[in-house]
Homo-oligomer: A and B are copies of this chain.
Amino acid sequence: MFNFQCDYTEGAHKNIIDALVKTNMEQTSGYGVDAYCESAKAKIKAACSAPDADVHFLVGGTQTNTTVISSVLRPYQGAVCAAEGHIAVHETGAIEATGHKVLPLPCENGKITASQVKNYIAGHYASETAEHEVQPGMVYISFPTECGTIYSKDELRAIHAVCKEYDIPLFVDGARLGYGLADPRCDLTLAEFAANCDIFYIGGTKCGALFGEAVVIMNKKYAKDFRYCIKRHGGMFAKGRLLGIQFDTLFTDDLYFNITRAAVESALRIRKAFEKKGVSFFGDSMTNQQFPILTDAQIEYLSKNSLPEFWCNAENGKKVVRFCTSWATQKEAVDTLVSDIENM
């Protein structure tokens, strides 16, 4: 049975495991100030063409979102985001736990637009009762979004321009960043992407690492005392070098890009197989998550070998399910699924 339910079912890429094994009995300082973290930071900054950026390593996504968001907002400010954004839906109030309201905007395909953001913020300041409402203090988007779509260079730039106009940061949740950059329609390099964010993170957990997210602070204005924020949120990892080693490995010889590109290629093979059968899709993902709309019979048929995740109900009794590929997806698994699709 092949599990396509999510992109964190396995451990870590072989190179990472090898590096952890090899360095296991070395003695290093704790809390992320060791040589492996330094090396990883240097490689990430190089990959982002951002020599002046600050890079920090955290363990998981919710922790990263919470730490970054509470670090950049003033107490009465909230985070503007898509209604389907991860922080709006799936973090058990972790953002509110830091005292901040999430300000969701209606979204299409998981995305919000610069003009939506602009109208929302302008509307706030135009209101006579602005002080009675939460002030929009940042914009949060996901790249790719929770439903696998991406922002184009122009879209990202336009949102960033609105942020600059109001002097608030644009923070991009890159839990699946590698898969987004590997979308064949993506017109952004990592460096171009980075240049249009104030802060973002490079997801490791879903992209080849055992765990770990690399926060990149592009705008120095938001860099001050970030390590205090990490510690306050329980994110100062004792054996910090474990994060350094993993990201150092991912950013050696383009491993991060290669493994995520391969995952997207697998996803698109699956997509094509569904398309051939006339299956339509929920949303418009060209990344590692595919959301075909299937009948119960089709789902049952495919599930004999390949496990998808139920996503939501669709019209006519059909269901949207999610097939995720990842850095760990085996050719055999994709071959089997594609073959089953052809025969379903």
Q: Which residues of A contact B (CB under 8 A)?
A: 2-3, 5-6, 8-12, 14, 17, 20-21, 23-31, 59-67, 70-71, 74-76, 78, 89-94, 96-102, 129, 131-135, 205-206, 210-211, 225, 227-229, 231-239, 242, 328
Q: Are B17 and A225 in contact (CB under 8 A)?
A: no
Q: Contact: B242 with A211, CB < 8 Å?
A: yes
* Nearest-Cβ distance from residue A321 to partner chain B, whole angstroms: 14
Copies of this chain per assembly: 4
A24-B11, A135-B225, A242-B11 known; A62-B234 Cβ under 8 A: yes
Q: Would A11 and B23 be within 8 Å (CB), given that A211-B238, A211-B242, A227-B131 are in contact?
A: yes
Give the nearest-CB partner of A61 in chain B.
B238
Q: Is the CB of B234 within 8 A of A234?
A: yes
**Contact status B24-A234, CB under 8 Å:** no
- Cα(A236)–Cα(B94), bound, Å: 11
Residues of B contacting A89 in the complex (Cβ-Cβ under 8 angstroms): 133
Say whether, besides A76-B225, A211-B237, A238-B60, A92 and B133 are in contact (CB < 8 Å). Answer: yes
Asked if A25 and B328 make an inter-chain contact with CB atoms under 8 angstroms apart, the answer reads yes
Asked whether, in the complex, the Cβ of B75 is within 8 Å of the Cβ of A229, the reply is yes
**Cβ distance A333 to chain B, nearest Cβ, rounded Å:** 10
Chain B residue nearest to A89 (CB atoms) is B133
Residues of chain B lying within 8 A (CB to CB) of residue A10:
24-27
Contact A78 B94 (CB under 8 A): no
Contacting residues, chain B, for A61 (C-beta < 8 A):
238
Q: List 24 interface pairs A-B (beta carbons < 8 Å), by A numbering.
A: A2-B27, A9-B27, A10-B27, A11-B23, A11-B24, A11-B239, A59-B59, A59-B237, A60-B236, A60-B237, A74-B225, A75-B232, A91-B234, A92-B133, A92-B134, A93-B101, A94-B232, A96-B101, A97-B99, A97-B232, A131-B231, A135-B225, A211-B238, A234-B234
- Nearest chain B CB to A169's CB is how many angstroms away? 15
A65 to B236, CA, bound (A): 13
The reply to whether B27 and A133 form a contact with Cβ atoms under 8 Å apart is no
Distance in angstroms from A286 CB to nearest chain B CB is: 24
